[in-house]
C-alpha cells in the first residue's frame, strides 16, 4: 500500500499532526471495517478466552476480509499507550503506567527469547487504506481502557510516520509501522490450523447462525 493511496483516504477535517480523539474516530471510519475488527476480537476471545493473540487474531481477520472480497495485508506494528499520571507525585508513568507497549524492541539490545507460543512483536491488518488492530485491548487497564481500533493510515506511514490518539482524559496512544516487516510467519499461531476456527466462527456470527449468535450473546 503506497502513501499516496493512504493520504487520499484520510478523513476530511482530521490531521495526523495532532492527536485524534479515539471516541470520535470510531464513528468516522468505515462501519464494516470497525464491525469486523470487533468481531475478530470477540471470536478469538470466545475460542481462546484471552486477548493476547495478535498473530492468530490478525491472521483470522485477514482471512475473513478476503472472504468479504477485500485485499488485506498483515502488518507488523508498534502500539505505545501512555496513561496520564494520576498520582500526587507526578510520577510520569512510573506508577500510573499503562498496560504495556506492544511490538517495541526497546533500545535494540538482545532480549530473551519469547516463551512457548509467544512472540515479542505485535501484528495488525492493513485494508483499504486503514489499519485494524483487533487485539490492542490486551494492554487495556482501568486507567486507560482500550478497544479494537481502526484508523486511517497517515501520509508517510510506510516511511515511519506515527499517528497519535488521545481519549480526552489525558491518556495518549501512538502507532508506528515496525521498521522490519518480518518475524510473525514462523510463529506457531500463524498456522491456519490455529486460526481457522476463529474465521469459521466469525463467518457464522456474520451470517446470523443461531448457535453462534447465542454463544456471542452469552459471553457479552
pLDDT digits (tens, 9 = 90+) for 26-78: 888 999 999 999 999 999 999 999 888 999 999 999 999 999 999 999 999 99
Lowest model confidence (mean pLDDT) among 73-82, 89-98, 188-197? 89-98
Is residue 182 assigned to a domain? yes
Torsion (CA) 64, 8, 14, 127 in degrees, nearest 10: 10
Is residue 85 assigned to a domain? yes
3-state SS assignment for residue 21: strand
Range of the domain at 17: 3-33+69-193
Distance (Å, whole) CA 5 – CA 55:
26
Domain count, the chain: 1
Is residue 64 assigned to a domain? no
Q: What is the pLDDT of residue 27?
A: 84
Is residue 201 assigned to a domain? no
User: Which one-letter DSSP state was computed for residue 150?
Assistant: E
Q: Is the pTM of this model over 0.85?
A: no
Amino acid at each position: 500500500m503506497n502513501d499516496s493511496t493512504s493520504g487520499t483516504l484520510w478523513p476530511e477535517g482530521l490531521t495526523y499532526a495532532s492527536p485524534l480523539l479515539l471516541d470520535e474516530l470510531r464513528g468516522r471510519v468505515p462501519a464494516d471495517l470497525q464491525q469486523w475488527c470487533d468481531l475478530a476480537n470477540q471470536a478469538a476471545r470466545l475460542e481462546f478466552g484471552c486477548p493476547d493473540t495478535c498473530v492468530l487474531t490478525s491472521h483470522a481477520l485477514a482471512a475473513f476480509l478476503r472472504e468479504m472480497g477485500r485485499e488485506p495485508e498483515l502488518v507488523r506494528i508498534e502500539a505505545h499507550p501512555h496513561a496520564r499520571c494520576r498520582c500526587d507525585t507526578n510520577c510520569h508513568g512510573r506508577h500510573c503506567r499503562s498496560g504495556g507497549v506492544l511490538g517495541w524492541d526497546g533500545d535494540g539490545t538482545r532480549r530473551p527469547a519469547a516463551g512457548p507460543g509467544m512472540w515479542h512483536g505485535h501484528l495488525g491488518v492493513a485494508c483499504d487504506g486503514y489499519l485494524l488492530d483487533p487485539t490492542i485491548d490486551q494492554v487495556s487497564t482501568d486507567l486507560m481502557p482500550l478497544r479494537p481500533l481502526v484508523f486511517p493510515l497517515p501520509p508517510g506511514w510506510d516511511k515511519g510516520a506515527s499517528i497519535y490518539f488521545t481519549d480526552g482524559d489525558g491518556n495518549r496512544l501512538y502507532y508506528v509501522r515496525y521498521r522490519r516487516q518480518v518475524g510473525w510467519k514462523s510463529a506457531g499461531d500463524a498456522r491456519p490450523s490455529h486460526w481457522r476456527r476463529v474465521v469459521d466462527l466469525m463467518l457464522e456470527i456474520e451470517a446470523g447462525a443461531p448457535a453462534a449468535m447465542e454463544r456471542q450473546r452469552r459471553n457479552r
